[in-house]
Amino acid sequence: MPRDFRTDPPRLLGSRDPATGETFFPPRALAIDGSLRETEPVELSPEGTLHTFTSFMGTDYGQVDLPEGVRVQGVLGAGPHEIGARYVLQIVGEGEDARWRFTRA
């Protein structure tokens, strides 16, 4: 299974429908309208705005709005967290153990 991010520089990898401009994360192979139109790969912005967050069993999770119009849901770095604050993509670990999260800017 291919990764949905790259490490240098840190970027999430999404896709864009060339006909509508709609952007997706995680990436999709085909448009969502049933046309079987292929999407194109796109690198997403490494910064966004925290939309909402929660904690569960000692881990913080949040939804970050990126400038491309995508709302990404994932793990957050250590708090405190603030809705509306800027968050940046961070890669933790190396090699096959590498994972992404958003941390407060």
Residues 47-81 have pLDDT tens digits of 999 999 999 999 999 999 999 999 999 999 999 99
6-48: per-residue pLDDT in tens?
Answer: 888 999 999 999 999 999 999 999 999 989 999 999 999 999 9
CA distances from 12 to 26, 35, 45, 51 (A): 8, 26, 8, 18
pTM here? 0.90
Q: State mean pLDDT over 94-101.
A: 91
Query: How confident is residue 2, by pLDDT bands cut at 50, 70 and 90?
Result: low
On whether the CB atoms of residues 82 and 63 are closer than 8 A, the answer is no
Residue ranges covered by each domain of the chain: 5-104
User: What whole-number distance in Å separates Cα of residue 91 and Cα of residue 100?
Assistant: 4
